[in-house]
Structure 1
Amino acid sequence: MTTVTLETCLANILIVLTLTTCTCGQRNPSDRSAMQGECSRFDYEHKLLERLVVMELAQKTVDEAERKLWVGITELQKELKNKSKEIADLNAAITQLRTDMNTGFTQLTSPVIFKVKKSPSVYISGSDVILFDNVETNVGGAFSVDHGFFKAPVAGTYSFALQVCCYPKTWVSYDIKVRGQQAGETRAGDNSFYDCSTEVTVHTLAVGNEVWVQHRDGNGVDKHWATFSGVLLNAANVAV
């Protein structure tokens, strides 16, 4: 069965109305008077139907435009939904990155470890900075043998340990200094025996913060080598 569209039906109606009007206009003069009323009625109906056809065609155009508009809106909504998911995924990635930066994972940073010793031959007096002349390990190169300072290469939490020992009937006291402030103290001494003292301290440092060991007082010289060590526990963004 052949499908006839609405536009074809409307066009056929216009053709019929046009032919009817033309027929009325082509009557003989003697017949026109009798047909005047009939032609006037046909003319009115023709114009009315013509307007209806035009309105129907216009409505069809509006309907088609509305359909295309809704198709476009639907596609836009799908695209916005996809973009929203992309933005949500990006925000989640940024949040995870911030968490990793704030928490700090040592695997994200090169390890920082050092252990140094001071031999008894290194002379100290007053409040000298202790120069540890023997390096056992210095991973990351953050400890300076020349100056006796450890300088934090990355921000994070560090642990430091200091041990000193002295002969009988002598005593000695060392301080751990963090950013110029006392952060720990070792004091060793005994009248009858060799004596040792150990101090462990944990601090959060910013990049470039310095840590060192400083002589406080005492009348003895280390029997065994004094040792100073440190390790980066975890890296984190900090401002100290």
Structure 2
Amino acid sequence: MGIYEHIEKFNIKYCDCDFKDEIKASITLSLMEEAACASADELGFGYAYLKPKGYAFMVSNNCFEFLQPISLGDEIFVKTWPLQPSHVIFGREYQFVNGQGEVLLNASSRWCLIDMNTGRILQSKVIENQDYSTYNTKKVFEKVNWKIPTFLPEEGTLKFTIKIANSEYDHNMHVNNTKYADYCLNCFSVAELACKRLKRFCISYVKQCKEGEVLRFYLKETEEKGVYLAHGFNENDEIVVQSQITFEE
């Protein structure tokens, strides 16, 4: 099949942007997810293949970094390709480019395959219709530190609280991964974000969240200039999501 990549075209619309007319972090993750799902369908292990088996892919980590701003009205192309999986981790790479082929954003994600009936993580070998030797091996980052530093609630500042309701759900019957980006960025005020530009956003999903749960998001500034940690805790003070956010100020 040669060096595989899937390309999806998107136009950045009003509802995709924040108050500065720049693409939201949650929309960035949404476009990544749309392209990833279309790519998986194209390769033969997408939703139509997995659903009858009772399987589903769930993202465990996302990380993206802007090289150039993406703004209202932009036409962009999202390129994506899967990496050869490990025992249980499916890696996927992304690049957002403009019509001239300039890279606007690099991104990487990690996924697990879940048996929805048992909740068990499945080995990659259960997908039997792939020739991994033909996969694109290019990685957009030299290294991604997927282990985001943790902190206790009392070590941060409470910034945002939400009770989960139906609008947060996707067809896997839990809060969709893209929603958490909005929750984490809600730890900052409009005034604070007005003088910052998002440079890099990394997020790890620790626990699934369901309807009725109350999540509290705490913010902690690190010693590194422009770098913050925003973590979500449930009512048992368990971390459900953790993010590291880097701004250009």
Largest Rg, 1 or 2: 1
Q: Say which structure is richer in helix.
A: 1
TM-score if structure 1 supplies the norm length?
Answer: 0.20
Q: Say which structure is richer in strand.
A: 2
TM-score if structure 2 supplies the norm length?
Answer: 0.19
